[in-house]
A and B are shown apart, each in its own frame.
Chain A
Amino acid sequence: MRSRTPAPMIAALGAAEREPALQDALNEPARTPWRLRTRLLGLAGLVALLAYPFVLNAPFPQHVMIMIFLYALMAQSWNILAGYCGQISLGHAVFFGIGAYSSGFLFATFRVSPWLGMMVGIAIAMAAAVAIGLPTLRLRGHYFAIATLVIAESVQIVFQRWEFVGAASGIWLPIVRENPLLNFQFNESKIPYYFIALGFLSLVCLAVWYLERSKAGYYFRAIREDPEAASSLGVDVSRYKVLAFMISAGFMSIAGTFYAQYVLVVDPETVFPLTLSILVLLIAVMGGVGTLWGPIIGAAVLVPLSEFTRIYLGGTGGSVDLIIYGALIVLICVFRPVGLLGIWKDWRLGTAVGGAKNRGNA
């Protein structure tokens, strides 16, 4: 175990060829005149997304879509830290809970608009990310993963006992009829929630899209591939790790605020659970970590699966989705650790090039 000294150097040398995402990003400007078919497909997708809640104008299909957006938003936030920067957090529910509690508490006690509460939540989540990240991001691999897990559990315990924010029973948000937009509460229809969730998801995806092309994004990926090599090339590793953690936490807290306004109840059991942190990780890994579309694909596959099993199998069916998730994740990790997106890409390349199947084995 201690005779692996040359490994980092080899990794540093091989980083460029081992990193298809980087290559794609580098090649991107060259093929900017997008093919017509891609553009048409994109347009059709956009129209479908905008028309969806009006065509399927019933609560359940709208709810499923909203959940897809919400989970994609969370998985994408996790993806920024874990997929791009390589720091595997197992306690991302902390930031979700912070977002939910910040806006929920401010609205329930002071009637502060949840939009403002959301900003406060983002600020607190980012501050928490710095506070948690500064010491923990120095840790490597499993130590970091378990540290985040342990911190998330501790935060949940604290919130369960904290009388000021309602302890274990949490916060019940008052239902307000007037001024729905300002109060971020839509009691008549799910359609506003649909578009707000879509908007948040677009925001995080835009951020990731921009990040993939920005200097910070390249630094993140360099840190993921090899922290020592990145550091030797002048990347301030700890600073950029904390930055990735902050961005990730901020978006996660937006998801928390949205959830609080959607269900109007915030309690430690539902906003700080380990299951949430795991689910977010499973979705991102399922779709493909370190890619823009991976978390969205993961959510689009897994969320309907869990919503439908819950309906068709009822009570005990509550765990069938997790049985399938767990098995799928194990299979993906064992056979193709590139996620569904990677499998699809490989398949497409495989048919185009003719059998060059094992490319990009992450």
Chain B
Amino acid sequence: MGGPGSEDRLTVPSATLLGQSVLSGVFIGALYGLLGLGLSLSWGMLRQVNLTHFALAFLGGYLTFQLAAVAKVDPFVSLAVTVPLFFGLGVALHGFFTRFKVTLLNTLLVTFGLTSIIEAGIQWYWTADFQRMESAYAQVRWKIGPLYLSLPDVITLGLALALCFGTWAVLRFTDLGKAIRAMTEDAPIAAAFGVDEKRLGYLVSGVAGAFAAVAGVCLALDHTLAPVQIYAWMGVVFAAVMMGGLGRPLGPLVAGIVIGVSEALTMAVTAPTWAPLVSFSLLIAILLFRPSRF
């Protein structure tokens, strides 16, 4: 709690401050998870470290912003445009990787280059200045006891939960999911059982692209867009994906929320400058104590 001469050292927070900070951490963590979901799928199942995912998410955000600003299209209606478009981009990217037999390390390099190209394109069209989507959703908030919830945050959490659990359920309970898991486990053996590895690869890559479009809507709803911010999310989302386990749909969400809440509590009780260290400290701790996870 702030008091006379309060410094940015360890302080005893009030219950309200603590509660509000936890909520804030859950919501930002949900966005980490949502951004990490597509990355985790393509990395874990296709062996592609796809940095373009971040650029696509921001491109999705910009397209949502543009459709809302110019054509007054509701952000969620804009998904009817961006989801198929980004599914197609995901498929095309996978086609490129397959055609040129790009290795895992090289996917990192190639997608970094593609990210820079998309960033330049965004800057060319929307300029480097900050863009902010104005929507009726941002005006809605609720008070529960002393705590506040805003609609964009709740939507982000809801979408993250729905997509992560939905993907998990598909992979866990459907034949398609079982085929994808078999392909990930051992592609030649899966092929011997009739699994079409190529088609499934295109499908997974397309779905990962579509998830970027959904994350883009959440970015546009609750965040200010600037081309350079593409890179600001990479570190923490990478940490969430690695902590959550590659190819595990629930992993990035759980890890993202753990990171988000840890960062928020760090900011609530001590100097906010320590917060960025939390995600990487957690990642290092997991690498040290549970290396088998990777």
Q: Do chains A and B stick together as partners? A: no
The chain A residues found within 8 Å of chain B, CB to CB, are none
